[in-house]
Amino acid sequence: MKAVQKFLVNPNVPERLRPLMEIAYNLWWVWNPDAIALFQRIDRDVWEQAEGNPIKMLGLVRQDTFVRLLSDDGFLSHLDRVHQDLRRYMEYATWYDKVHGKGLGSQIAYFSLEFGIHECLPIYSGGLGVLSGDHLKSTSELGLPVTGIGLLYRFGYFKQYLNRDGWQQEAFPVNDYYHMPVTAVLDKDSQPLTVQIEFPERAVTARLWRIQVGRVPLYMLDTNIDANLPQDREITSNLYGGDLDMRIRQEILLGIGGLRALNKLGTPPTVCHMNEGHSAFLALERIRLLREKEGLSFDEAREVVGATTVFTTHTPVPAGNDMFPPELMESYFRRYVEHLGLSMQQFLGLGRQDPNDAREPFCMTVLALKLAAFANGVSELHGKVSRRMWKRIWPGIPEPEIPITHVTNGVHTRSWYSDEIERLLDRYVGPEWLADPVNQSVWKRIENIPDSELWRSRERLRERLVAFARRKLREQFARRGIHRSLISQVDEVLDPEVLTVGFARRFATYKRAALLMHNPDRLNKILNHPDRPMQIIFAGKAHPKDHPGKELIRTIVHMTNREEFRRRVVFLEDYNMQIARTLIQGVDVWLNTPRRPMEASGTSGMKVAVNGGINLSMLDGWWCEGYQLHNGHSTGWAIGGGEEYDDHSYQDDIESRNLYDLIENEVAQTFYRRGPDGLPREWIGMMKTSMQRLCPVFNTNRMVEEYTERFYLPAILQWNWLAAESWSETRKLAEWRRKVAASWKEIRITALGSDQGAHHLVGDKLRVQAHVHLGSLTDDDVNVELFYGPLTPEGEIVNAATATLLPAGTTPNGQTVFEGSVQCASTGHHGFTVRVLPYHRGLIDKFSMGLVTWLEEPFQRLGLGLFKAQPARRPVTGKV
C-alpha cells in the first residue's frame, strides 16, 4: 500500500468576509432565513450545486466572486447584520438563565444514534433523528447546559433512487466531513482527540468531531481512522447497517465511548438523557466510573446513576427494541462485568424482564428502564402502550401505575415554517410567536390575520410545491432514461389550484402508505372529480432490507403510471429534510394512516400545522391529543374512532372506506365551498383553529421545558443531594435498600376495617384503618396506601386513586396501626384495598425496588375507634 501524506486545503476567504466561516460552522443558520439568504446571495447557482451546504459552497466559490463581494456594500451590510445576530444569540440571557439561574452548575448529556439537523448533514434516517435534532435546537433556544453525543457515519443512511419498474435502489455516497459544518476536536498538542473502547481481544479507537448547534455542542465519534482494524473502521460506516454484532459495537461505542469522550473533554455529565435504548450502556459506564473514582459499591453507584438518568422510548412494538443473545453479551462484556462487581448472571439480569430466565435475550430497553428513574413514551397513547409492553419488569404493580410516563413530542417551529407564514405572523401576531412559542395567548392572535391574506399565502405555497415537484420529476425521469416526449409532459402533472394531499414518511408496512389505493376505482372518482379534484404527492424511503416496504413504493409508482392517475399522483425520490420542508409547507392536507397503536408519536403533521396545513389522520400517536373541536371548528379530521383490530385485512377495508368518505363528504367539499369573494371561509377557519390550538403545544420548546421541569431539574437536585459530604447520603440510601429488601418478606397486612358500613352518601368521609406487621422494619421505612376507585362488574378496581394512611399507634400484639380517610365524591359501586410500599426521601420512583405487599385473604375484618390517631407526618388527601 502506498504511503500517503495528508494535508488540508481550506477556502481562501478574505479577512473582511471571515465571519462567513463562523456563521457557516454554527447550525444556527439552519433556522434563520436571513442567514440562509446571505449564503444564497453569494451565488445562488453554487448554493444549489452545494445542496444548501455553506461549507461546501464556500469551497466551490470562485476567488473573483469573493473579490466582487468585497466591494458590494449591500452584501457587507447583510453579512455584518447576520454576524451580529449570531453573536447576540450566543450571549443573551435565556429562559433557563432567567428561570433557573446558572447556580446549578450541571451538565446534561443527550445521547442519540442519529441526529437530523439539516440535509447537509445526512447522518439521520427519519423521525427519531429529526426529533433529536429539533431537541438540540430548542435546548439551544432555551439555554440549557446540554451537550449532544452521537456517531458520525461515513455513508450516512442512503440516497434513494427508483429503477424503471419502481423498485427502490440504494446508493451510499461518502460523507466528506471536510466539506460539512463539522470540525475536528483537537487535544492540547493539536492532535485529534480520541477515546478507546475495549472489545474482545482488542481496543478500538474513536476520534471526535464537533457540530455546533446554536449554543449546543454536538460531539460525534468516528472509528474510520488508520489505527483501527478494517472491521472496526466499519463501526461508523452506516446508520442501521450490518448484523447484531455490528449493532452491539455501535451501541457500545455510543454509550460507553460517548461517556468517555465527555469525561476526556472535561465536561462529565450530571444528567444523561438516552433518546431510545441504543445508548443504554452509558448507565453501566457511569456506574463503573463512580466505583473507580469515588469508591462506591455497585448498589451505591446505581443509586446515583438511576436518579440522574432519563430514558425516552420511541418504539411501540417489542420487535423494534434491540435485543442481543446472551452469548453475544458474554463475548463483549466478559471482562467489563468484573469492573462492575457483578457476576455474568447478575449482569444479564439487568437486561431481562425476568432476571431468572436464562433463555431471555438481553434487551436494551429493559436495561434502560431498570437504570433510569425517569422514563417516558412520546405521546399519551404511547405511554399507555409502553406500560403494557413492559409491565413484567414490575410484577404486582397495576398497569396504569407502571413508572413510564409520557412527554409528547414537538417540532422546532423555526426550522419548519415557510417565509410566507413568517411574514404573516410577524405582521399580525407579533414577534412573541418566535420568542415565546408556547404562549397560547399569543397564538390566539392568528384570528387577526385577514382570511384573504392567509389564503393567498397558502395558494403561493401550493404553487411553489407544484413547481418543485415538477422539477424533481424531470430529474427523476431523465435519470431513469424515460423518453423525452414523456418528460415534456411533466408540466401537465399536478395543478397549482387543486386540493393537494401529502404523504411522506418511512415506508414501513404499518404506516400503510397504500391505504388510499385500497379501491383504485373509487380513488379515481375522487382524484378526477369534475368539480372537486384532488392530487397526492408521495415521498419516503424503505429500509434497504425491508422488501414489503419496497413493494409498497413500487405499488404506488405503478399507480402513477396509469393514465387516470398520471397527472394526479406523483412519487418524489430520495426523501430528505429539503423535500420534507417543501411538502409540509405546500400541501393543503397531510395524510397519516398508521395501524393503531403502532405510531409512537409522529411529528410531520405538527410541521404541517405550523404552515396552515390540515391533518387527516388515524387516531394514533400525537393526533389523539391534537384532534379536537374549538369554537365550531376542528383542528383537522380523524379516521375512525380509535378502534384496534386483530384482523388487519378487515381493518384496512373498514378504514379505507372511512377515509374515502371523509375526503368526498368533508375534506373536498369544505375546500371547494367558496363564498361570493372566492374564499373557502370554513376551510380558513379550520386552518386558524389548527394553528391556534396545535402550534403552542406541539413544539420542542414546550417539550424541552417539560423535560427540564419534570426530569432534568429533579435529577440535578438529586445528584447534589446524593453527592454531598463524600456521597454519604448515597451510602445510607443503598444500605437502606439492602435492609428493606432483606426484610420485606416479613411484611403482611393483618387487619382492615372502615366505618359507617357499606352504604355512604356523596360528601361522606370514609375512614379506613389497617393493621400491618412490619417485622424488623419501622413505619418510617414504608408507605401504607389506600388503593380505591370504581368497581367493574367483575369486582376489579378501575381508574384507581391512592391516599396515604398514617401511623396511629400499635395494637397489643405489636401490629402497627395506619389510619386515613377519603371523601365520597361520586355515586356508584366502589371498592378499596390496602398496600404497603417502601418509603425513603431518596426514592424518586416508589416502584423502583419492585416491592409491594397487597392485602390478601385471610385477614381480620374490624371496626374502628380502637386507637387514637397521632399527628400525621405525611399529608393524606383523597376523593372517591
The values of phi and psi at residue 186, to 5°, are -115, 150
Q: Where are the beta strands (DSSP E) in 39-98?
A: none
Closest CA to 129 of 212, 239, 246, 209: 239
Who's near 470: CB < 8 A, 6+ residues apart? Answer: 490, 491, 493, 494
Residue 870 has a pLDDT of 43
Q: Compute CA distances 208 → 7, 140, 437, 802, 809, whole Å.
A: 18, 21, 34, 50, 62
pLDDT one-digit tens code per residue, 137-161: 999 999 999 999 999 999 978 999 9
Give the span between the Cα atoms of 593 and 758, in whole angstroms. Answer: 49
Q: Return the minimum-mean-pLDDT range out of 5-9, 26-30, 265-269, 732-736.
A: 5-9
pLDDT at 123 over 70: yes
Count CB atoms within 10 A of the CB of residue 438: 20
Query: What pLDDT is recorded for position 873?
Result: 46
Cβ–Cβ contacts within 10 Å for residue 48, how many? 11
Q: Could you read off the pLDDT of 828-848 as tens digits, one per residue?
A: 888 899 999 999 999 999 999
C-alpha cell of 284? 453501566
**DSSP bridge pairs for 753:** 769
- Distance, CA of 413 to CA of 435 (rounded, Å): 11
Predicted confidence band of residue 867 (pLDDT cuts 50, 70, 90): very low
Phi, psi for 308 (deg, rounded to 5): -125, 25
Distances (CA, A) of 654 to 640, 648, 718: 9, 10, 51
Cis previous bond, 597, omega within 30: yes
Q: Which of 310, 289, 318, 316 is nearest to 301 (CA)?
A: 289
CA dihedral over 101, 102, 105, 107, signed as positive or negative: positive
pLDDT confidence tier of residue 880, bands split at 50, 70 and 90: very low
Instruction: State the pLDDT confidence band at 12, using cuts at 50, 70 and 90.
Output: confident
- Cβ atoms of 472 and 505 within 8 Å: the answer is no
Residue 125 has pLDDT above 60, yes or no: yes
| Residue whose C-alpha is closest to residue 407's, from 318, 319, 310, 321 | 310
Taking the C-alpha atoms of residue 697 and residue 705, their distance in angstroms, rounded to an integer, is: 11
- Cell numbers standing for residue 841: 426521601
Which region holds residue 332: left if phi is over 0, alpha if psi is between -120 and 50, else beta? Answer: alpha
In the sheet with 614-618, reading across from the earlier edge strand, the strands are: 569-572, 534-539, 499-504, 589-592, 614-618, 636-639
Name the amino acid, one letter, at 244.
L
The model's pLDDT over 522-533, given as tens digits with 9 standing for 90+, comes to 999 999 999 999
Average pLDDT over residues 268-283: 97
Amino acid residing at 630: H
- The Cα–Cα gap between 128 and 841 comes to 35
Contact status, residue 192 vs residue 182, Cβ threshold 8 Å: no
How many CA atoms lie within 13 Å of 420's alpha carbon, on the beta-carbon side?
A: 20
Do 766 and 821 meet the contact criterion of CB atoms below 8 Å apart?
Answer: yes
Of residues 367, 299, 107, the one with CA closest to residue 735: 299
CA distance 514 to 507: 10
Distance (Å) of CA 530 to CA 517, 534, 831: 20, 10, 61
Q: What is the pLDDT of residue 863?
A: 65
Query: Which ranges of 695-825 would DSSP assign to H, the alpha helix?
Result: 700-707, 713-743
What are the pLDDT digits (tens) for 730-747? 999 999 999 999 999 999
User: Does the pLDDT of residue 2 top 70, yes or no?
Assistant: no
Phi then psi dihedrals of residue 773, to 5 deg: -85, 115
CA distance 467 to 463: 6
Q: How confident is the model at residue 479 (pLDDT cuts 50, 70, 90)?
A: confident
The per-residue pLDDT of the chain, averaged, comes to 93
Cβ atoms of residues 618 and 640 within 8 Å:
yes
Distance CA 12, CA 683 (A): 53
- Over residues 560-594, the pLDDT tens digits come to 999 999 999 999 999 999 999 999 999 999 999 99
Average pLDDT, stretch 529-542?
97
Given a cut of 80, is residue 819 above it in pLDDT? yes
Cα gap 749→618, rounded to integer Å = 47
Alpha-carbon distance 53 to 35, whole Å?
Answer: 12
Q: How confident is the model at residue 5 (pLDDT cuts 50, 70, 90)?
A: low
Lowest mean pLDDT among 27-31, 351-355, 364-368, 631-635: 631-635
Report pLDDT for 879.
Answer: 39
Where is average pLDDT lowest: 124-133, 565-574, 659-668, 856-865? 856-865
Largest CA-CA distance found in the chain, in angstroms, rounded: 99
Instruction: Tell me if the bond preceding 858 is cis, omega within 30° of 0.
Output: yes
**pLDDT grade for 320, boundaries at 50, 70 and 90:** confident
| Res 221: pLDDT | 98
Please tell me whether residue 704 adopts helix, strand or coil conformation.
Answer: helix
* Residue 240 grid cell: 442501521
pLDDT recorded at residue 757: 65
Which one has a higher pLDDT value, 610 or 477? Answer: 610
pLDDT for the residue numbered 758: 64
For residue 874, the model assigns a pLDDT of 47
**Candidate from 54-68, 479-493, 810-824 with smallest mean pLDDT:** 479-493
Separation CA 240–CA 250 (nearest Å) = 9
In the predicted model, is pLDDT for residue 211 greater than 70? yes
Predicted confidence at residue 436, as pLDDT, reads 84
Task: Please tell me the distance from the alpha carbon of residue 458 to that of residue 690, in angstroms, as a whole number.
Answer: 14
User: How many whole angstroms separate alpha carbon 196 and alpha carbon 818?
Assistant: 56
**872 has a pLDDT exceeding 50:** no
Q: What is the pLDDT of residue 795?
A: 84
> Quick check: 297 pLDDT over 90?
yes
The band of 876, judged by pLDDT with boundaries at 50, 70 and 90, is very low
Query: What is the pLDDT, as a whole number, of residue 764?
Result: 83
Task: Write down the H helix ranges in 183-295.
Answer: 230-233, 244-252, 258-264, 281-294
The set of cell numbers assigned to 261 is 469522550
H or E segment and range at residue 610: helix 604-610
Q: What is the mean pLDDT of residues 335-359?
A: 96
Rounded mean pLDDT, 506-522: 94
Query: Is residue 348's pLDDT more than 50?
Result: yes
Round to whole Å and give the CA distance between 563 and 560: 8
| Closest to 271 measured CA to CA, from 642, 717, 677 | 717
pLDDT of residue 877 exceeding 70, the answer is no
- Radius of gyration (C-alpha) of the chain in whole angstroms: 30
pLDDT at 878: 46
> Which backbone phi and psi does 797 adopt, to 5 degrees?
-80, 130
C-alpha cell at 747: 411484611
Residue 824: what pLDDT? 85
Q: Which of 101-110, 617-626, 854-863 has the lowest mean pLDDT?
A: 101-110
| Separation of alpha carbons 246 and 252, rounded Å | 10
Q: How confident is the model at residue 862 (pLDDT cuts 50, 70, 90)?
A: confident
> Would you say 592 and 623 are in contact if contact means Cβ atoms under 8 Å apart?
yes
Find residue 111's DSSP bridge partners. Answer: 149, 274
Q: Is there a contact between 452 and 677 (Cβ–Cβ < 8 Å)?
A: yes
Q: Is 734 exposed, middle or buried (0-12, 13-18, 19+ CB in 10 A)?
A: buried
Share above pLDDT 90 across residues of the chain, in percent, rounded to a whole number: 84
C-alpha cell at 61: 466559490
β 614-618/830-838 pair status? unpaired
* Helices and strands per DSSP (H, E), number in the chain: 34, 30
Instruction: Tell me which residue of 57, 78, 74, 73 sits closest to 13, measured CA to CA.
Output: 57
Confidence of residue 245 (pLDDT cuts 50, 70, 90): very high
d(CA 731, CA 291): 12
Which one, of 119, 112, 122, lies nearest residue 174 by Cα?
122
